[in-house]
Amino acid sequence: MKRFPFFLLMVMIILVFGSLTVLAEKVYVMKFGWIDPPDPYSNPTSAYAVTLKSEVERLSGGRIKVELYPAGQLGDQRSSVEQVRKGTIEACNISSGVLASAYYPPLELVDMPFLFTSYEHVRLVVNSDFMKNLIEDCAKKTGIRILSLQPFGFRHIFNSRRPIKVPSDLKGLKIRTMEIVPHMKLIEAAGGTPTPMPMLELYTALQTKVVDGAENTISNILAQKYYQVQKYLTLTGHLMGIGATIINEEWFQSLPSDLKAALVEGEKTAWLVYSGIGQLVSDVKLDELKKKMEVYVPTTKEIELWKEKTQSYVKEYLVEKLGKDLVDEFLKIVDEARQQIVTEATSLGK
């Protein structure tokens, strides 16, 4: 009888410490979706996702479990944004313009044509205080936190009808764009007919001639096999595609501080992979694409013509929607970032 209280005490101690251990090891599940095919060796978003999962789970000691859902398993980009806002899923990767069109218009700024010259140029701009302030403002107003913005490649025009050299060659052609207003305005300014639709519907639309062409990155043209139903590609480089990893703000803020740090640190490594794979695929795969499509490289004068025809038109739309002060401030940041690159280059060897 004397041993019973001691035995009961030991059982209680084990139960209490067992409960504390369970609490200390609570696992936070982060569902992460994107629309591209799952091959990490040919698609920058998929490479990013694989690295994000590996690094976040490693740095969190397994306390954050990242579940990956490629190829639109959780819905198209617009649907994914809505699910993240509601907290149905925790995170996804989309084109930044989809978030801009749905909930946060100031993000349309990065979709102005002929804005960026390189991946490094984008990196400097998205890491600026200006963009950090936009990110915080977006989280506050929408409940969606932009974990990062990533360059995934220059976008080019392709079609099934004829070679495109100058903007006037687009006249009469229906060109699919993303459901992003600056993208539509760009095609409109060049003389084409913008036809917005989700990417998951595009291959069939090209195949059945619902649209005559589209615009996208080298990696996506290959990954989605658009070359099977399109003949002509023009390397306009009119836009730098900007990806956005977004996360439900309430879920993010619910994480303990050490897990927030693990998520942010792991994502930074994934960002480097995203950028690197995007550049590599564009460089390496272009030769492969030249065997499948007729590729035209515009001259410097032709590119200037594209820029003159489209940039001011889209800027006018943005000024009307967002205000001249915000647009001018952003363009100043873009110019300063470009000048920083030039200054660093010219100072070498001095």
Q: What would the 3-class secondary structure string for 266-315 be?
A: HHHHHHHHHHHHHHHHHHHHHHHHHCCCEEECCCHHHHHHHHHHHHHHHH
| Antiparallel, parallel or unpaired: β 193-196 and 174-177 | parallel
**What is the chain's pLDDT, residue by residue, as a tens digit (350 residues)?**
445 565 555 545 555 454 444 455 799 999 999 999 999 988 899 999 999 999 999 999 999 999 999 999 999 999 999 999 999 999 999 999 999 999 999 999 999 999 999 999 999 999 999 999 999 999 999 999 999 999 989 999 999 999 999 999 999 999 999 999 999 999 999 999 999 999 999 999 999 999 999 999 998 999 899 999 999 999 999 999 999 999 999 999 999 999 999 999 999 999 999 999 988 988 888 999 999 999 999 999 999 999 999 999 999 999 999 999 999 999 999 999 999 999 998 888 66
Which two tokens mark 2? Answer: 């004397």
270-297: b (≥16 Cβ within 10 Å) or e:
bbebbbebbbebbeebbeebeebbebbe
315 CB-contact burial (10 Å; exposed 0-12 / middle 13-18 / buried 19+)? buried
The Cα–Cα gap between 213 and 231 comes to 9
Q: What is the reported pLDDT for 1?
A: 46
Going by the DSSP 8-state scheme, the letter that residue 60 receives in this structure is T
Closest to 213 measured CA to CA, from 227, 97, 222, 342: 227
Please give the DSSP secondary-structure letter assigned to residue 210: S
Distance CA 234, CA 212 (A): 14
Structure tokens at 174: 């229906």
**N-to-C CA span, the chain:** 89
> Quick one: CA torsion of 128, 133, 134, 138, rounded to 10 degrees?
140
What's the pLDDT at 350? 66
Partner residues linked to 153 by β-bridges: 241
Phi, psi at 90, each rounded to 5°: -85, -35
d(CA 297, CA 305): 14
Please compute, for residue 15, the number of CA atoms within 13 A of its CA located in the half-sphere on the CB side.
Answer: 6
Helix, strand, or coil (residue 198)? coil
> What is the per-residue pLDDT for 24?
57
The confidence score (pLDDT) of residue 15 equals 52
Rounded to whole angstroms, the Cα distance separating 71 from 80 reads 12
Fold of 28-347: D-Maltodextrin-Binding Protein; domain 2 (3.40.190)
pLDDT at 14: 54
Q: Can you tell me the distance from the alpha carbon of 102 to that of 199, in angstroms, rounded to the nearest whole number?
A: 16
**Domain residue limits, the chain:** 28-347
What confidence score (pLDDT) does residue 282 get? 87
Count CB-CB contacts under 10 A for residue 41.
10
What is the CA angle 289-214-293, rounded to 5?
25
At residue 8, the pLDDT reads: 57
Both tokens of 71, joined, read 């190829």
